[in-house]
Amino acid sequence: MTSASPWWAPHVHADRRPRLMARNRIAAALRAWFSARDFVEVDAAILQVSPGNEAHLSAFATQAIAPDGTAHPLYLHTSPEFACKKLLAAGEPRLFSLGPVYRNRERGALHHPEFTMLEWYRAGETYDSLMHDCAVLLRLAAETAGATTFSWRGVEADPFAEPERLSVAEAFDRHAGIDLLASVAPNGDTDRTGLAAALGNAGIRTAPDDTWADLFSRVMVERVEPALGRGRATILCEYPIPEAALARPSPADPRVAERFELYACGVELANAFGELTDADEQRRRFCAEMDEKERVYGERYPVDEDFLGALGQMPEASGIALGFDRLVMLATGARRIEDVIWTPVAEYPGTGPAR
């Protein structure tokens, strides 16, 4: 059985090239849009002392060899977030980064070990401003690619329509019949037993060792995410505080955080925060995430103390990370992420193309 032709085969490249050229045009259009609004483009260092402290993100590890021969662990960043926030602390009011990031254990139709992330930050502005940005950038990407609709695996969304705004609690109720916030206390404590019972009533499987976070993720993956971004994009907002990541609590309800994700065609495109600036609370969250990572994967990543030091001096801000390759996929109708990456990472031995 012969293998598929490599991406660099002339006939394969000729088929891929129109989407790759659209990728370049979209990147140029986004850069021009940000520049016209006084955003400064920054290049974040890829090598970091910590790749991030999210339980289910896996990094590529390496080491730096000092002139005296001693080895020091470093990681390829999973996001430029820590570096960008240090620049906010340094005084940059508006900045964006468009460049490569790296995530291990991830490869498939929507995942690639090296991909391009667009991040931007607005000091002194709320995360509602990022929702407006998202609507504008979806339209801009479509216009630049000459697309009238976004599509993926038979699901379509109108990039010119105003995105739907839906809270996570509303989404759980609408798509699973679950009262999510009944399992979250104002102090952030969770009721795992109550949520498990709600999943059972909704016909969703559970396991005895499932944590509250496991149950939350299962509903998201099985019921909520596939229903989002159909017909038009969806902004899924007000995540429960246990899923806040680096977002601050909502002043309207301490059970939820100022976090939203952007979906189109059932595909997650972006993750945004009203940024947390409480270094002590952020340390607590990092430690909890690393405890969970150690439980599940048997490893943990160091905390970037320099980042926590900068966080205490960072102004109030909002920030967002958008998967650029996925945006190009939807704008060009590509079937998989590798179709819009100029030089995909080599296939792992014994595996086939991502599906």
What angle do the packed helices 192-201 and 212-219 form, to 10 degrees?
Answer: 30
Number of Cβ within a 10 Å radius of residue 227? 16
d(CA 211, CA 214): 5
pLDDT for residue 350: 62
Report the predicted TM-score, pTM, of the whole model to 2 decimal places. 0.94
**Residue partners of 100: CB distance under 8 A and separation at least 6:** 46, 114, 115, 116, 117
Each of the 355 residues of the chain gets a pLDDT tens digit; together they read: 346 889 999 999 999 999 999 999 999 999 999 999 999 999 999 999 999 999 999 999 999 999 999 999 999 999 999 999 999 999 999 999 999 999 999 899 999 999 999 999 999 999 999 999 999 999 999 999 999 999 999 999 999 999 999 999 999 999 999 999 999 999 989 999 999 999 999 999 999 999 999 999 999 999 999 999 999 999 999 999 999 989 999 999 999 999 999 999 999 999 999 999 999 999 999 999 999 999 999 999 999 999 999 998 999 999 999 999 999 999 999 999 999 999 999 987 766 555 5
* Residue-level pLDDT at 355: 59
Q: For 70, what's the count of Cα atoms within 13 Å in the CB-facing half-sphere?
A: 2
Q: Which of 129, 151, 128 is nearest to 229 (CA)?
A: 151
Report the Cα 273 to chain-centroid distance in Å. Answer: 11
Residue 352 is predicted with a pLDDT of: 58
At residue 215, what is the residue type? L
Distance separating alpha carbons of residues 285 and 51, to the nearest angstrom: 15
The angle at the Cα of 213, spanning 243 to 196, to the nearest 5 degrees, equals 130
Q: What is the pLDDT of residue 2?
A: 47
Give me the pLDDT at residue 1, please. 39
Token pair recorded at residue 337:
């992420």
Residue 111 backbone dihedrals phi, psi, to 5 degrees? -130, 145
DSSP string for residues in 212-259 = HHHHHHHHIIIIIGGGTTSEE-EEEE--BGGG-TTBPBPSS-TTBBSE
